[in-house]
Amino acid sequence: MLPLININRNLRSLNRYREVLGILVSHGFGQALEQLNLDYYLEIGRRIVNRDPRKKELERLPTPVRLRMALEQLGPTFIKFGQLLSSRPDILSAEYITELNKLQDEVPPVDRAEIEQQLLKELGDSPSSLFCQFSPQPVAAASIAQVHRAKLTDGTPVAIKIRRPGIEKTIATDLDILQGLANLFEKHGGEEQLFSPTEIIKEFRHTIYRELDFTKEGHNLVRFKDYFEDNPSISVPDVFWELSTDAVLTMEFIDGAKISDISQLTQAGHDLKKIARNGAQAFFDQVFIHGLFHGDPHPGNVLVKANGEICFLDLGMVGHIDEDLRHQLTSLLFGIFKRDSDLLLSVMLKSRDRSKEINISALKRELSEFIDDYYQVPLEHINSFKLINEFVGLMRRHHIRFPSDLMLLAKALVTIEGIARQLDPSFNLIEQLQPTATALLQHRLSASNLGKEASQILRSYTDVAKALPDEIKELLLRINSNNFKIDLEHRGLERLITDLDKSSNRLSFSFLIGSLIIGSSLIMQTDSGPDLFGFPALGLLGYTIAAALGLWLAFGILRSGRL
């Protein structure tokens, strides 16, 4: 039956758990789940497969395609999870990333009555009282929310983002299931895992709950508006806080064309090359100056207004780049520009997995080869997507773990370059980025900045020096009072313990079967008790039980695939 996992044991969770595993098995992932000891539910999944008319068609599809289809069928939480994974080329290979980028987050809209009830619950009044005009037909409908047009009582056009009623419970249930599967995978999935599945789910839980809280998106909009207040080429919609809650976000309605709609932009007389440059530079400013960037800048989230201003929408997913990360990033870029493999090596070694052995000479050799592959190649001939994927692949091979925000940035950069090249085929991301990176490095090496860093280092060492005597005194007191403890953690023994437990159970079972056979044989020899077919009935019963138990044991061993 269901193993012990950390999910709510209510009927809805159990039914959803069975549904999730059934869909995964029906899409050909039963073998990957077998090692998680989910025998009961895998058998249910196989029954679903046998009844699924698409069985043969699914079997012929590539694994990444089947994964994408399974996530879409599983619903909102799993679609969002797939979108998170699509921003992690350090976890998945390029073919999976490409396929997961196709995940569709479009669903049928919620019934009008439910939306009006949601507004009444959140804002305390009906739409007809709050707005002089409210469109019940959404302009966009996604898995978490849908957007409606409306007009305030003073005639101001607004866009209202409304969270789908009940979505929080669905997501909470699915997150518990994902956490349970992650726990099992970490326990039974082997030791050669660069990333902890439970840590990935923990990150996803944090991300999706931030997206569910629309006040956080509202604050992001306010911050972006403040960042670009003096930039005439960039605009961000206003937020109407009096008509906003954590489930409803009322914003200024932006009338514009998608940045990827080349024909409409051309007809409006816009300078496409200028739009490409301004949009890319605005994104670089988000990353390198403000440390907060749009995590999902796809064409639907970037509009061009009639006056040529570029407007960023949907800031529910953002990435954060603190000062240390910015230093790492600028050092990486400078190392690539200057063909300095030692600089690249020093930056990458700061992010390595300390529990894994790294062949530093092999890493340095691969870094030199990577740089040589792009040395003296004209910038217009460099494919940024290929460059980023090759670099991330190098990181994966050598157990280098960069923060997830850097991986989100890598995906966003590729998206930005794709949009810019649609507008201007001659656009090159690296060429546009080089002046910004150079200016940042010059600032970093400036006398004032070096002095600031030196004072920070000195202050840190001073704090350590001040705290050291007290720490040593505390340590000595603990030792003298026999209150000094060292906790040792044995990593990688969980699976060994589980296997030993299974082996001991099988041995005990074998001894029991052997004892039944020996005891039944002795009864046969004594010829005592009632007879059945001319043989002692107790002896025949013992043989029958031993045979049944033996077949059961053999079936279990064969099913596990470990003879």
Task: Judge whether 67 and 24 are in contact, CB under 8 Å.
Answer: no
Helix, strand or coil, per DSSP, at residue 38: coil
The token pair that represents 373 in the structure block: 């592959």
Decide if 531 is catalytic. Answer: no
Backbone dihedral region for residue 30 (phi beyond 0: left; psi -120 to 50: alpha; all else: beta)? alpha
- Catalytic residue of the set 174, 176, 296, 314: 296
Phi, psi of 382 (to 5 degrees): -90, 125
- Residues 293 and 318 sit within 8 Å (Cβ to Cβ): yes
Where is 162: in which H helix or E strand?
strand 157-163
d(C-alpha 138, C-alpha 108), whole Å = 10
Identify the helix (H) or strand (E) that includes residue 212: helix 197-212
Residue 148 is given by DSSP the state: E
Q: Which residues contact 127 (CB under 8 A, 6 or more apart)?
A: 116, 119, 134, 150
Task: Provide the sign of the torsion angle of the four alpha carbons 219, 221, 222, 224, taken in this order.
Answer: positive
* Residue matched to tokens 């269901």: 2
Three-state SS string over 544-563 comes to HHHHHHHHHHHHHHHHHCCC
Torsions phi, psi of 426, nearest 5?
-90, 0
DSSP secondary structure code for residue 196 in this structure? -
Cross-strand bridge partners of residue 162: 146, 248
Q: Which residues are catalytic?
A: 296
